[in-house]
Structure 1
């Protein structure tokens, strides 16, 4: 396969998926991100890519994740965070603290079993504070081995599904014995500028393209400036500094109302995550992924369920009610799009907005926390 065809496939396969999800009922049931990973893995393991394709795919994945960060963060409204109840903010802080502590324990246990243990801890802290965007960004910032990354992400997909089943079924009946109960039922509006149900056809609504291009252009400018500034630091730290600068500049831009309300920025950021997924998947070696899957499956399980148990214990200590704890835990571990279904299942609809907002906070702080803790663990481990 030529370089041009590879670039076209990486960029256009997610477009085809988004088109089909809107028009084919069967396709609507599948996660676009997972299908992109599978397609990438299939492409990279059927023997049609030359050895030189790895460098091109690496460039494509790095560019895609860099552009996705500002687009995902432009719609963050930091000023509205102060409207959250103290309990929701505290529950989020305790969730971030829990995953950081448990990741540190997991790192210490696995450091002799995996040379990437510190990086994996950083990946999981970012993932279980924010979500997949943070996982992708931290992978790039820390230059995590692509096969390790895919093993971790695959493990998370399986274990997060189990986590959601637990949260929506037996978690509340068990935790209500140690956490207080509170009535949170009733309807509440979702944030106007954040939609997790954007359709492919929305891109073709009249009058939107100028604003969509403006958001994309601003994202490119932020990436360009960040790359330029990163040249001032030693080469080993340039990628990490670039990701942190992009995150910081995007959050600063979100304070400008005209930028924060640009349409389709979040959806466009998701599209670039899908491009990243295809590119990273195509670089993966299925044999190596399965060979290391057992180790990283256990690693991820310890961090996910260990941090959940610790979070519940800390919330009990601070008298946070069971629904708030579970909703905030969902927003941190599974990201904002899952808050609604969990809130409905728990009959806690009034917590949809706080849950989504704490999840957005996680998107904003996940890169900083994951990268910082990975570097700390490396320093401690020598």
Structure 2
């Protein structure tokens, strides 16, 4: 037994605390402008750090393992259900090309940053895999890679702290770029011009509240969303175990075979692939399910609470500064590549910035930026394009993480 107010085997209380902290974070994010700017994810993380560092809850418990083993796998398909593959091609056009080129910027930035700092930050191979997946997809990819590479909880928390601090700086930069004459002279700005001409108006709500609008969700929607997600997780994990048993691994086989085992037998990659295939085969079925994105996002908030729990404040202070440099390099390379790609494709400034945002911050934050700036015509397309990152992020993170681990 641990010397904390709540014991590790008090599962009901711990589950309740995790859910309540996540719920309060979401409420604050949608109720107050300051919380919307900070983001509910940071609030949830800080709340968990406070509870564990003050001795209220333990740093280890089977409850936390359940979040990693059950909640995160469920979140992956739920967040993919609303992806319409056909719309990515028919509605997005140049925005899709920008997003993919921006993803190359993330990969390049991760490789550069890794080689510069690999001798100074422990477990940077694992962190590199997590961050690269997250900076193409989003929080669900970070969670998937954190589970795959089994990174220590304190370093995962430190990485999240550094990442969130970088996100705050990054979003400020994104908000400022459209106001700078240097960029206005070199890129077309049709949506900015429309806002400045008074066509778009703010609705007075926080960004989070504007994005997460009320939807009609029936009992059938809940049943179909949760039931389908569980079915996909079960089938995918069993399939991954089967494929993994067919491909040999270990010290006695070649590196290529080991890589094939790691990729094709990886539960998260198989889950992503199976979900993608099912979405392509049965698009109408998934289009009729309301609320899957809300369910998946709520589960991700539970993840943010849990990764904050093992955080040791002294270790965060010790490791976060260098980790901040690590993510800063990645973000800067991504922005440079994105801006260059936008110029090369003769894209407008709004599309270019949103493509970079959808990579680094995920589609929902890109939508939030579009809402904040009044670029209402771009909210739908960037959500569609940005969700592609959920699909490819795990592949990129896995490949880079495995490559980096061979050099540590």
Calculate the TM-score normalised by the size of structure 2.
Answer: 0.80
User: Could you tell me which residue of structure 1 aligns to residue 19 of structure 2?
Assistant: 11
Match of 1:191 in 2: none
Equivalence for 1:79? 86
Q: 1:24 to 1:332 in 2, by over 3 A?
A: closer
Unaligned stretches of 5+ in structure 2?
A: 1-5, 201-209, 251-261
Secondary structure (helix, strand or coil) at the match of 2:323 reads helix
The answer to which of 179-188 and 18-27 deviates more is: 18-27
Show the counterpart of 1:252: 277
Q: Structure 1: which 5+ runs fail to align?
A: 189-194
**Alignment partner of 2:190: what SS?**
coil
Q: Write the distance in 2 (CA, Å) between the matches of 1:219 and 1:250.
A: 9
Q: Which residue of 2 aligns with 1:47?
A: 55
Residue aligned with 1:35, SS:
helix
CA contact (8 A) 2:110 2:128 kept: yes
C-alpha distance in structure 1 between counterparts of 2:130 and 2:145, whole Å: 6
Kept in 2, the 8 Å contact 1:107–1:121? The answer is yes
Please say if 1:197 is aligned against 2:212: yes
| Among 307, 312, 326, the residue aligned to 1:299 | 326
1:139 to 130, 139, 146: 146
Which SS does the other structure have where 2:266 is aligned?
helix
Shift of 1:20: 6.6
Separation (CA, whole Å) in 1 of partners of 2:17 and 2:134:
27
Q: 1:143 to 1:196 in 2, by over 3 A?
A: farther
Post-superposition offset of 1:71: 0.7
Alignment-derived partner of residue 180 in structure 1 = 187
1:13-162 equivalences under 5 Å are 13-18=21-26, 31-50=39-58, 53-162=60-169
Aligned equivalent of 1:192: none
The CA deviation at 1:60 is 2.1
Distance change (3 Å), C-alpha of 1:29 and 1:209: farther
User: Equivalent residues in 2 for 1:218-257 (5 A)?
Assistant: 218-232=228-242, 233=244, 237=262, 241-255=266-280, 256=282, 257=284
Q: How far has the Cα of 1:29 moved from its partner?
A: 6.8
CA distance in 1, matches of 2:28, 2:44: 13
Aligned match of 2:204: none
Deviations 1:80-109 (A, max 9, x none): 111145421221111001110111011111
Q: Return the match for 1:374 from 401, 405, 408.
A: 401
* C-alpha distance in 2 between matches for 1:316 and 1:164: 21
Residue 317 to residue 267, structure 1, CA distance change in 2 (3 Å)? same
Measured after TM superposition, the shift of residue 56 of structure 1 is 3.9
Q: Determine which of 290, 294, 298 is the counterpart of 1:271.
A: 298
- TM-score scaled by length of structure 1: 0.85
Match of 1:287 among 306, 314, 326: 314
* Superposed CA RMSD: 3.0
In the alignment, is the contact (CA less than 8 A) between 2:155 and 2:319 conserved in 1? yes
Residues 156 and 50 from structure 1, CA distance in 2 versus in 1: closer, same or farther, beyond 3 angstroms? closer
Contact 1:61 1:275 in 2 (8 A): no
Q: Would the alpha carbon gap of residues 262 and 147 (structure 1) be closer, same or farther in structure 2, given more than 3 Å must change?
A: same
Tell me the CA shift for residue 226 of structure 1. Answer: 2.3
Residues 165-221 of structure 1: per-residue CA shift (max 9 Å, x gap): 2222235533345x4325245589xxxxxx94145xx6xx6x712321221111112
Bigger drift between 208-217 and 233-242 goes to 233-242
Displacement after TM superposition at 1:349 (Å)? 4.1
Q: 1: distance between equivalents of 2:265 and 2:145?
A: 8
Deviation of 1:348 after TM superposition, in Å, equals 4.6
The answer to whether the 8 Å contact 1:198/1:267 transfers is no
Aligned residues: 368
